[in-house]
Amino acid sequence: MIDAVIYRTQSGAIQSFAISGHAFFAERGQDIVCAGVSAVSVGAINAVHALTGVTPEIGHDEDGFLRCTLPEKLPESINEKVQLLLEGMVVSLQTIEEEYREHIKITFKK
């Protein structure tokens, strides 16, 4: 199962997220759940960088692990854009979770 954890600040803003595991929906290379989660999460990171200039701290490995942490104390106007992009990622992940509940679980932590 894919485990997606969204870490929020006390005010509710996304500070980081971590995604790990495999969906095991289909064979490697044919797994639409893994592909969807990868596309949504990596696309969000790329959008944050391309559209706001913010470079998050990224960690990843070949076993399906991805971690993204935002820099602290971003200017408010930039942070609003970053938050909108990451909230869009959360909505997309939740859409995948609704359809493939046995293969992905999203949790939120403060």
60 is an active site residue: no
Residues 6+ apart with CB under 8 A from 65: 18, 19, 20, 59
Pick from 92, 107, 103: which is nearest to 34 by CA? 103
- Order of strands across the sheet that contains 14-20: 57-60, 66-69, 14-20, 2-8, 104-109
Candidate list 22, 49, 60, 68, residue with the active-site label: 22
34 is an active site residue: yes
Give catalytic residues, as residue numbers.
22, 34
